[in-house]
Chains A and B, each alone.
Chain A
Amino acid sequence: MRHWVRKLAILFVAFCISVGVMAQDSRHFPHSDGERARYNVQIDFRKAYISGICMMLNEGGTVNCCVFNEFGVPAMTYTYNIATGKVKIISIIGKMNRWYIKKMIRRDLAQLMSVLHKDEGGEYTNSRVGVKYSFTILNDTDNGTSE
């Protein structure tokens, strides 16, 4: 009997540890240095939408972000400075590489990143131009692991 109780206790502790590890790896916004996050991205325009994945890494208070579509085709990379709340676009696909588009996206992303940073959801709508940005946590269902 005591043997079984001990076995159950060990199993329970192992279960709790694994759940704890999973919870730590739940990939919320990367508030601290070295933290990572992954989001499903959807940007809705008035008549169309685009979707993809955004991966983030906090490096010394700056969050580096890469956005690409489901096929892996790159869309843009940008950085978000947590202290200043500013977004800098590093690269963007050809058709969107216009100063006025980048200006709008930079402002919108700064608003969205602020919302994500404050854990106030993952949506921002630019009602002036009718563009809605939705970022939802991408749960790792299996081997989508970090290096």
Chain B
Amino acid sequence: MRKILYSLLIALLPAAAMAQTKNEQQIIQTINKASAGLKSMECDFVQTKHLKMLNDKMVANGKMYYKQPDKLHWEYTSPYKYTFILNDNKVVLKKNGRNDVIDINQNKMFREIARLIMNTVVGKSLGDSKTFKASVKESPSEWTVTLVPQKKEMKQMWTTIVLTFSRSQQMISTVRMCEKNGDYTLIEMKNVKLNKPVSDAHFNVR
């Protein structure tokens, strides 16, 4: 009898594992579909950097604009001013009256940074299995996707990147980037407006 039970258990285990994977895949597909349908996005954000060594945190506020396929305006408004604009293959950095234009095709580091910011913010990172290994958890109100970096450069900076998606909006609500030493950066999206007209002036790279 015991042998039969063990056999049954062994037979059922892979099926249970497959069922979970299938559920995860369904959630990822749903998020990817929502990301693909995202034409534009505008929101405020609050970025909180927690520093374990200092038992302190830095709170920064800003605004974000996104337009398909690859236009992003990421601007910190307080307590410091810093703007990052990605438009096609160009990145503009604005700080202290300086405007630096970078061609991301000629700068591998910036290409990676630009891709990471954009894909994470709009939830496209899930399909990038070369860069991240993704796992999903769900609750009644949200999906939580944990991304484990696979590339050496990213592993040096972060242990995990945790994305939280609102199930009702099918849209990202928080990004939490965790470091080896226990520090982490939390980005919370607020006042999200989806698929509303966004002026091209926000993505001016000159």
Contacts and interface: CB of A to CB of B under 8 A. Distances in A.
Interface of A: 36, 38, 40, 42, 49, 51, 53, 55-57, 64, 66, 68, 70-74, 77, 90-91, 93-94, 138-147
B51 A55 contact: yes
A74 B58 CA distance: 13
Contact of B157 (A36, A74, A147): A74
B167 interface: no
B47 interface: yes
Contacts of A74: 157, 179, 183
Nearest to A38: B58
A77 B54 CA distance: 10
Max chain B CB contacts within 10 Å: which of A36, A64, A141, A144? A144
Interface string B5-28: 000000000000000000000000
Nearest to A74: B179
- List 9 A-B pairs, minimum CB-CB distance, nearest first: A72-B185, A144-B79, A72-B49, A70-B82, A94-B156, A57-B54, A141-B78, A141-B79, A144-B59
Interface residues of B, number: 30
B61 interface: yes
Interface string B67-81: 000000000101110
Nearest to B62: A70
B191 interface: no
Given A72-B47, A93-B156, A147 B57 contact: yes
Given A57-B56, A93-B156, A94-B153, A144 B78 contact: yes
A55 B56 contact: yes
A73 B82 CA distance: 14
Nearest to B51: A66
B157 A93 contact: yes
A77 B79 contact: no
A53 B78 contact: no
B193 interface: no
A51 B82 contact: yes
Contacts of A138: 79-80
B179 to A, nearest CB: 6
A61 B55 CA distance: 17
Max chain B CB contacts within 10 Å: which of A64, A71, A139, A143? A71
Nearest to B187: A72
A94 to B, nearest CB: 4
Given A93-B157, A94-B156, A144-B60, A66 B53 contact: yes
B80 A53 contact: yes
Contacts of B61: 142-143
A138 B79 CA distance: 7
B163 interface: no
27 contacts: A36-B54, A40-B80, A55-B54, A55-B56, A56-B54, A66-B54, A70-B60, A70-B80, A70-B82, A70-B95, A71-B117, A71-B185, A72-B177, A72-B185, A74-B157, A74-B183, A90-B53, A139-B79, A140-B79, A141-B79, A143-B61, A144-B58, A145-B59, A146-B56, A146-B57, A147-B56, A147-B57
